[in-house]
């Protein structure tokens, strides 16, 4: 989020924050997933163990907000191709993907590897 805000401060744009904790599973389930991750599961395995799909988020509200702001044709700052597809399904025209660059370190390496296994794009892919 900090990198996105910094980039938008330079280039302009709209930041939508969707209160969909744990990829839409809710805060309580996000905490349950953390406990499972502490026991050795990765993020995706923990969510599946709890009975959830890889991503439970609904992007219809995001599309409605974009439309209300007059943005139906956008460049999207994301590394998640599923987010692009979800917005396109709502009728938002995603004309370009702007990669969100993050640093991999000892604290997030496993998480970043899991995101990549889930199909997230790395760098400028």
Q: What is the pLDDT of residues 77-93, one digit of tens each?
A: 999 999 999 999 999 99
> CA of 104: how far to CAs of 5, 34, 47, 68, 96, in Å?
19, 20, 23, 36, 24
Domain that holds residue 122: 62-125
Would residue 84 count as lying in a domain? yes
pLDDT of residue 41: 94
Would residue 72 count as lying in a domain? yes
Would residue 107 count as lying in a domain? yes
Q: How many domains does the chain contain in total?
A: 1
Is 48:25 a contact under the CB 8 Å cutoff?
no
pLDDT of residue 90: 96
> CA of 17: how far to CAs of 1, 49, 59, 117, in Å?
9, 27, 11, 25
Q: What is the pLDDT of residues 13-70, one digit of tens each?
A: 999 988 888 888 889 999 999 999 999 999 899 999 999 998 899 999 999 999 999 9
Helix (H) or strand (E) holding 95: strand 93-98
Would residue 43 count as lying in a domain? no
Would residue 78 count as lying in a domain? yes
Whether residue 55 lies in the annotated active site: yes
Would residue 91 count as lying in a domain? yes
pLDDT of residue 65: 96
Q: What is the pLDDT of residues 105-122, one digit of tens each?
A: 888 888 888 888 888 887
pTM of the model: 0.80
Would residue 96 count as lying in a domain? yes
Whether residue 57 lies in the annotated active site: yes
Would residue 42 count as lying in a domain? no
Name the active-site residue from 47, 55, 58, 124: 55
Name the active-site residue from 57, 58, 88, 125: 57
């Amino acid at each position: 989020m900090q990198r996105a805000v910094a980039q938008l401060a330079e280039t302009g744009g709209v930041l939508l924050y969707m209160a969909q904790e744990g990829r839409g599973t809710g805060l309580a389930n996000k905490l349950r997933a953390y406990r499972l991750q502490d026991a050795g599961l990765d993020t995706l395995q923990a969510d599946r163990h709890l009975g959830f799909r890889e991503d439970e988020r609904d992007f219809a509200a995001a599309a409605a907000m974009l439309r209300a702001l007059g943005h139906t044709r956008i460049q999207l700052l994301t590394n998640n191709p599923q987010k692009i597809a979800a917005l396109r399904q709502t009728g938002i025209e995603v004309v370009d993907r702007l990669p969100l660059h993050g640093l991999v370190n000892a604290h997030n390496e496993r998480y970043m590897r899991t995101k990549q296994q889930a199909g997230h794009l790395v760098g400028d892919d």
